[in-house]
Structure 1
């Protein structure tokens, strides 16, 4: 059997080992960071996050309205854009637009605000319930069909 000759060196790297970063490389890195940091802060001032506050508020209102319909014994609307709920406690609650808010009152008393900054609030009876349309002060329109269960 033929014997192979072992190589003396494991690594074939020609360069000599570097023990650490040089002062010049640290200085260049520091200058690059100091130049780009103010530019990055300047650019971030122009980034405007998208605000979904009104959309979340309207969706929360629709959830409140659905819960009121589910817990009431009877639901009906009138020509004045008011939705009435006959509660299990034999009280009557209604939801209406009052100035620029949508409020809920029980037996004509109280003032629980469900939604703010409203331009218009309309209720349309449909075959299985009510279609609610809301237009906000920003001009965005939201619609929801609420089913009445009996």
Structure 2
């Protein structure tokens, strides 16, 4: 075979000698990164997120409401599976189970629903506070103990 000499201007020899990126390639890469970055965050959140259920989040929010009520109370007692909190203005707040709801009543009037879809609610008096045990309809059981500092 005969070896032919190639004319450097006739073929694309300059592409094999490329030593870097040009501005258009750089801008394309940056735009692709910025477009895919939010989706990457969602994918990581879905794959690494523990399986928190709606019930668990609701129960933790309920415990936060109870904590706020206990902080604003100066005394408490447990009567007939209901927690009675005596507020600073001597109003009595009652936290109790009503069918499959946990409700809050002030002076036995009206009600505010704190939590839905529960199976059981139990209050236990402790020497240092109150222990609350909740069983949701799915069977999960949650409990928390609140320290009561304001008792006179």
Matches within 5 A, 1:1-150: 16-18=13-15, 50-78=51-79, 80-150=80-150
Q: Partners of 1:74 and 1:53 in 2: how far apart?
A: 32
Q: Whole-Å Cα distance in 1 between the matches of residues 14 and 82 of structure 2?
A: 83
- 1:8-33 CA-to-partner distances (Å, cap 9, x unmatched) read xxxxxxx83459xxxxxxxxxxxxxx
Q: Which 4+ stretches in 1 moved above 4 angstroms? A: none
In the superposition, the TM-score normalised over structure 2's length comes to: 0.65
**TM-score, length of structure 1 as denominator length:** 0.66
Quote how far apart the aligned CAs of 1:115 are: 0.5
Unaligned 5+ segments in structure 1 are 1-14, 20-46
What is the Cα deviation at residue 88 of structure 1? 1.7
For residues 124 and 61 of structure 1, the distance between their equivalents in structure 2, rounded to whole angstroms, comes to 17
Greater C-alpha radius of gyration: 1
Give the drift of 1:52: 2.1
Q: CA RMSD in A?
A: 2.3
Structure having the higher helix fraction is 2
